[in-house]
Amino acid sequence: MQDAINPSFEDRVLAQVELLGAGLPLEAFDVCFSASGLMFANDVLFASSAEEGRKKQEPFISAATSIHGLITDLRIHVASETCVFRNKSSFGTGVGATHQIDGLCWQKWIDGRISEERYYDGRLMCKMIADGILSAPEELKPSG
C-alpha cells in the first residue's frame, strides 16, 4: 500500500471495486477508465474510448431505479497490472423488475487507469473461467 496522494495499483483496483459494490458504476468508470481505453464485450470491440463507452452504458445505468453492487472473485496481478472479477450486480427498473448481471470483467491498467477492459458473459465466460482466468489474470488469451 502506498498513500492517498500516490495510491498503488492494488489500491486503485480496490477503490474501483468499492465504488462498484456501492452501486456506483458510472462513478467507478469516470475515476478509473483511461480516455483512450478500449472496451470489449465477449472479445468484440464495444467502445474505442472512454467517451464512447460511457455514452453506450449511461442510458441503461441512469434508467435503473436501484443498483445493488456485488463484485466477487477479485484477483489482482500486480506485476502485470491486470485484474479480473465477477460482476453479479443487479439493477431495479421502474416497473419493479430486476435485471441480474453475471459477468466476468478482465482489466489491463496503465498509468493508474484502465487501458483495456474485456467483459465476458454466458458460454464464453464459462470457458474463460474453466481455462483458469480467475487464478491467472495475467494470462488472458482473447478468443477474438
Q: pLDDT tens digits for 12-24? A: 999 999 999 999 9
Give the phi and the psi of residue 49 in degrees, each rounded to 5: -165, 165
CB 84 within 8 A of CB 125: no
Which are the contacts of 41, defined by CB distance < 8 A and separation ≥ 6? 119
Q: What is the pTM of this model?
A: 0.92
Distance CA 45, CA 40 (A): 4
* Confidence class for position 139, pLDDT limits 50, 70, 90: confident
DSSP helix, strand, coil percent of the chain (3-state; round to 5):
35, 35, 30
What's residue 4's pLDDT? Answer: 59
- The tens digit of pLDDT for each residue in 98-118 reads 999 999 999 999 999 999 999
